Amino acid sequence: MKPFLLSVLMLTLLSATTLPVRPRNVIPKTVTVSKSALQDKIKGGWAGQLIGCTFGGPTEFRFTGTMINDYQPIPWYDGYIKHTMLNTPGLYDDIYMDLTFVDVFERKGIDAPVAEHANAYANAGYMLWHANQAGRYNLLNGMKAPESGHWLNNPHADDIDFQIEADFSGLMAPGMPNTAVKIGDPIGHIMNYGDGWYGGAYVGAMYSLAFVSTDINYIVKEALKTIPPQSTFYQCIADVIKWHEQFPNDWKRNWFEIQRKWSDEVGCPDGVFRPFNIDAKINSAYIVLGLLYGGGDFTKTMEISTRAGQDSDCNPASAGGILGTMLGYNKIPAYWKQGLKEAEDIDFKYTTMSLNDVYSMGMKHALQVVERNGGKIAGDQVTIAVQTPKAVRLEQAFTGHHPVLIKNIQKDLENEYSVDFEGVGFVLRGEAKTKNRTGSNADAESNFAFTADLYVDDKKIETAKLPVNFTRRRHELFWKYQLSKGKHTVRIKLLNPDTEHVVHMTDLLIYSDQSVKSKL
């Protein structure tokens, strides 16, 4: 393409996806609040996150590729929060992951190096999935951040993981979105890259701005300035904002537009060619959907961000946390706080921290960050040096890679296995597991790990450990991107077959440099 035509095309693309410039409310360069008001907002952020996670828990990934219809009830009653925390503690993975990083800041200081955060999360006792588990495996096997989250090393780099656990960054940086993004940057790259990182950066920026604005539309739009307009994440959220302006009273029409344009999964091997979608940008779109159409109303925000489907506990958790920060704890409606008090002293599973603990820690950390970034504390008054959002660097994962085919395998790897394909990349899905496992703890209790070699076109690419243990597992067996276009042969050689364990291969996901477009 000629340079002039390319320039015209780029300008057309950016003008189509960049948010329209229009007058907005202006926030002063400094904002002064009382300590009690600041504490109220920090409490509102953490409480809102817990409420949203609890409310959406029963629907999580039960509605994939479809919304939850209005006639379907979603329970909420006095005592529900405590009951869920005691009986379904694994639901709160986004919160206890958040608290892993909060705990490091508390123990090691707010200048704690990323290695401290990476080590704490990699060696924690909780189960992980997707980008988090892929990042954990990389760390446990000698790779460091940010390589552990890079898409060439992590097939889940664009997934939602950092987005659901980035709340801490915004709650530590009231009114300072650039600082929130900076705090989260190295931690987010432990497990994510590109759109996966942008999801956490955007959520953190919205939390930060929620301290200094009571206009949810402003918060949503202003926070997006931290994301590069060239990124697909920005373009997706800009579309949601644009469609809200076109259809201001019809969130379902907006949802259908999101589904039509942004529901194609490219990275996550569990979601490609399936209705399941854990991609950061589409789930962030559902957060924004709830915030915009909720219009500052907590109930509407909870309902819409949940009924949009997919990760429908994490999305209302983020929306509830952002709105809870804007409103403050005391203004969260009593209906949503029923039973909250009796749950605030319960430690989250895998932690020694309760909501009351994190309220206190969050206040301590926020005051430290305020002072370090041009703010002042004088007696009961906290003066925040408010920041104008600035876009971070451009990162995009899976560029030039389009999923075109899944080959079903469903075989156990005995010694060697070979498969041919044509394309530029692949992901071999499967798992190392205990043979004839009879209980859910069989793999959790095993310390056995297979060792296997990967060859592509007779060239050895790597030797990898394939642990049976679920918390240390390799999320996918093997993958390789950025191959030369053409025919390739993948060969897996198992180096230590075992009579009590097996490597089961499920399917091969194949990428090409061009997408397959429907002609219908």
Q: What's the chain's length in residues? A: 520
**What confidence score (pLDDT) does residue 445 get?**
72
The alpha carbon dihedral of 439, 444, 445, 448 has a sign of positive
Domain ranges of the chain: 25-385, 402-512
**What confidence score (pLDDT) does residue 14 get?**
40
Q: Tell which CATH classification among 2.40.40.20, 1.10.287.3510, 1.10.4080.10, 1.10.390.10 matches the domain 25-385.
A: 1.10.4080.10
**What confidence score (pLDDT) does residue 27 get?**
80
**What confidence score (pLDDT) does residue 436 get?**
79
CA separation for the pair 479, 427 (Å, rounded): 4
| Beta-ladder partners of 510 | 405, 426
| Domain 402-512: top CATH class | mainly beta
CA separation for the pair 149, 91 (Å, rounded): 24
**What confidence score (pLDDT) does residue 13 get?**
39
Contact in structure between 404 and 510 (CB atoms under 8 Å): yes
HSE-CB at 255 with a 13 A cutoff on CA atoms is: 22
Contact in structure between 266 and 272 (CB atoms under 8 Å): yes
326-339 per-position pLDDT tens digit = 999 999 999 999 99
**What confidence score (pLDDT) does residue 26 get?**
73
**What confidence score (pLDDT) does residue 438 get?**
56
Tokens of 93: 């993975």
Show Cβ contacts of residue 74 under 8 Å, excluding neighbours closer than 6 positions.
Answer: 55, 56, 58, 59, 68, 303, 306
**What confidence score (pLDDT) does residue 444 get?**
67
Contact in structure between 312 and 61 (CB atoms under 8 Å): yes
145-203 per-position pLDDT tens digit = 999 999 999 999 999 999 999 999 999 999 999 999 999 999 999 999 999 999 999 99
**What confidence score (pLDDT) does residue 18 get?**
41
Mean pLDDT by 10 residues, the chain (520 residues): 37 39 65 98 98 96 95 96 95 94 98 98 95 98 98 98 98 98 98 98 98 98 98 98 98 98 97 97 98 98 98 96 98 97 96 97 98 98 98 98 98 97 98 78 79 98 97 97 98 97 98 80
